[in-house]
Structure 1
Amino acid sequence: MAKSLVLASVIALISSAAYAQAPAAPAAGAAGLTTRMGHELNLSVQHYDYTEPLGEQIDVKIHGPKFGGEYTGTFALGQRGRWFGQFNVRATGVTASYDGSCRPWQIVPSTTSPNGYRLTLGSASPCSESGDADWYVDGRALAGKDFSGARRAIAPFAGVGVRHLSNGTTGNFNYRTQEYLYVPVGMTIRARTTSGRVLGVTIEYDHLLRGWNTTRGSLLRGGTVPATSTAPAFSIGDFTDTSFKQHKGWALRANASYQLNRSWSLEPYYVRWRVSDSPVSEGSVAYTVNNITARQTLGYYEPLNFTNEFGVKIGWHFAKR
């Protein structure tokens, strides 16, 4: 939060110093450079890459192309037209591929377990799967102010955002979900190109207030592990769901919007999230050896992870300018 407040203060100081003498109405040369009121719909195509860097272990990657749709509604706040409010909702998804590691369930003798064995995991080996349902929805409410000069305009803004992600690894829809509550702070700078069209560049910092992560182990089917030279066969199942809270993270966003004409625009963009480790949470699983069932508590956590998204949007603006 401290970073967000500092950035907001810097934006406010720069804006007021540069445009303190600006008149109530936009300068004639800046016509078309201020934030456009009305509605905008866009479609996007992008590449999504989620990574958990695990050091000496095999990194986890969830990746693939995605397609999205977005709505933005912008309206004036007050009579002078400098302040504006904005609502934005975006959905993107289809499917993704998983590349990472798999570790087999094993049992080892234990004098404290009712069936004489406790669960453990074997050595990791590379594994992958594809076609997993993967999507997210991101909603934001923003407020900002336009400061216009003769050749360019600047619009600092801030607000609140909520992001919901659903990941279907293991082949189960909604197996893993995340919700982020965050504070976006940024600015848009617009200028007219030599061809007379408007180019706008937006840079934004998002500060994560809280993240919630749920892994639905209850969706996993049980199975039987065959006997080995050191342990009898056993069955495993009845996994519990596990929830995590994430307290530290941030995102950076950047885009460049080029107006093709009064209605259509083209916008390449980039988003990067970094979210820190979660505290350890407990879950449990049942396993049966020699017809005796025991339940073991296990510790889980959400590791440090990065998300990178590159894409291009094409937008259609309608209603007010």
Structure 2
Amino acid sequence: MTAFDEIRVENMVIDFPVGGGLFRRNHLRAANDVSLTLRAGEALAIVGESGSGKSTCARAISRILTPTSGRIMVGGQDILAPGFREGRRDYAARVQMIFQDPFGSLNPVHTIRHHIARPIRVHNPQLSPAQVEDRIIATLDRVGLAPAVQTAGKYPYELSGGQRQRVAIARALAVGARFILADEPISMLDVSIRLGILNLMDDMKRDGIGFMYITHDIATARYFAERTAVMYLGHMVEWGDSDSVTQSPRHPYTQLLISAVPQPGRPRAHARPVRKADIAQRGPDSRGCPFAGRCPDTTDQCRAVMPPVTKLEKDHHVRCHLY
């Protein structure tokens, strides 16, 4: 398979069945017309509330889920195409996912050595036991788990939350990951050690590793990611350069997220008002802007027609009828 320099997601749609009758199933649209690009050595932050479709998109890119429609392009090949078989194992090694709860992704009855050795053997059966051990120790050293030999012999419960998340990152690096899909990787960690994990991932970007950084914290998105995409109910509503999106937010939902970030000297009374409304589920037949029910600037057009994509600057796009 060609080199992993870029992953391009095009018009991805993800529907889930949610009941219905014997002959007709209702569907929930978890992601609608999602298009994004992951680049080696850069981070793309996906920001939004719980239920916005961030993790669902990451699971589709990692092939845990199969999208309803759309394409995922790597080196000119669509990995979702029925004929794409040759590079599936290579893709699985190159695109790895780390999860919000580091303890939940580790088996408590196995040592750290086992957790890292097993995927190495699956993807590199030609390696000798000594070579596997060398790779384990080198990877643990790379993520700052020293002394590596002693750490390899420990069990997950003997490590702190930050150390367990470093083990998850080491497991991804050990099989040669070029892209890491990080699903809320610091939200369950103590505030005092979050910066250490972010700095580790930032250092890995210099080695050419690309990140999809999923978070609800738009402040850390600006710190870590070169580009940011804001999602709401499965729709990308604003995306572009992180500084542009966070410093000059245009979509009312992005403005709402920014106003929720505590800032010294800014009274809470200055936060952008938002309508109180139930967050309705979206289906394949839903119409209009998904944020229309809560938007302070909503119009009849917003409720009836999905806004087109508007290019505001060189790398700043928005879906909103206001523009």
Q: TM-score range by the shorter chain?
A: under 0.3
TM-score normalised over the length of structure 2: 0.20
Structure number with the higher strand fraction is 1
TM-score normalised over the length of structure 1: 0.20
Whose RCO is larger (CA < 8 A, sep 6+)? 2
Give the number of the structure whose alpha-carbon radius of gyration is greater: 1
Structure number with the higher helix fraction is 2
